[in-house]
Amino acid sequence: MTLPKSLQNVVDGFSSLPGIGPKSAQRLAFYLLRMPKDDVLRFSKALVGLKEKTQICKLCFNVGDSDLCEVCGDSTRDRKTVCVVESPLDVLALEKANYKGIYHVLHGVINPIAGIGPEEIFIQQLFDRLDDSSSGITEIILANNTSLEGESTAIYIHNEIKKKHGNNIRVTRIGKGLPIGADIEYADEGTLNDALRGRISYSA
């Protein structure tokens, strides 16, 4: 049986998303077909709004409703401490662990096999923040995931900071609690809290 083109288009759209196979895509498409029209319209409007209204923070590259994210716009945050993460999902996880500093979101990791170098993610922008004498940053917490690519990215950042700033900026790595290969976004709040409190000076 061949699906109607309008339905197949939705199936193809869902199939293009990570973690959704053909059967799951079909189930989701048929679920939408059974939904009331008003609910489907609200859903489609939300998807359009996602692309049109979500902005990238001009300072830390987190996501937000304006060009300055909620964290960067909060005057009560500790602006001397910057936690470097791979994605906005990591920010959400660390916020639940009561981290009180600010962030820098890389939007990826260095992965030469996939053709991703430092220029393809927001690493240079981190260095630019450190070069700004008015930033007042004294510590960088490397909270990259513990994958091979995450560690390679952490080493690169550490070496570049030490090369330019020496010991003027403390570079630490989140500590105990995260197993090798673990993703920050999936860790529970207690584990992340322990990892932040147990962070150690980083040496590549």
Domain boundaries, the chain: 5-53, 71-201
Assign a CATH topology to domain 71-201. Answer: Dna Topoisomerase Vi A Subunit; Chain: A, domain 2 (3.40.1360)
pLDDT at site 43: 96
DSSP H helices in 68-147:
88-96, 124-131
Whole-number mean pLDDT of the chain? Answer: 90
pLDDT at site 160: 96
Alpha-carbon separation of residue 157 from 83, 122, 139, 150 (angstroms):
12, 11, 13, 11
Cα–Cα distance measured from residue 50 to residue 4, given in angstroms and rounded to the nearest whole number: 27
Structure tokens at 132: 């700004």
Name the least confident of 42-51, 149-158, 173-182: 173-182
Provide the phi-psi class of 139: left if phi over 0, else alpha when psi is between -120 and 50, else beta: beta
Mean local confidence (pLDDT), 152-163: 95
Q: Which CATH superfamily does the domain covering 5-53 fall into?
A: RecR Domain 1 (1.10.8.420)
pTM: 0.81
pLDDT tens-place string over residues 38-53: 999 999 999 999 999 9
| pLDDT at residue 105 greater than cutoff 90 | yes
CA atoms within 13 A on the CB side of 172: 17
pLDDT tens-place string over residues 135-150: 999 999 999 988 889 9
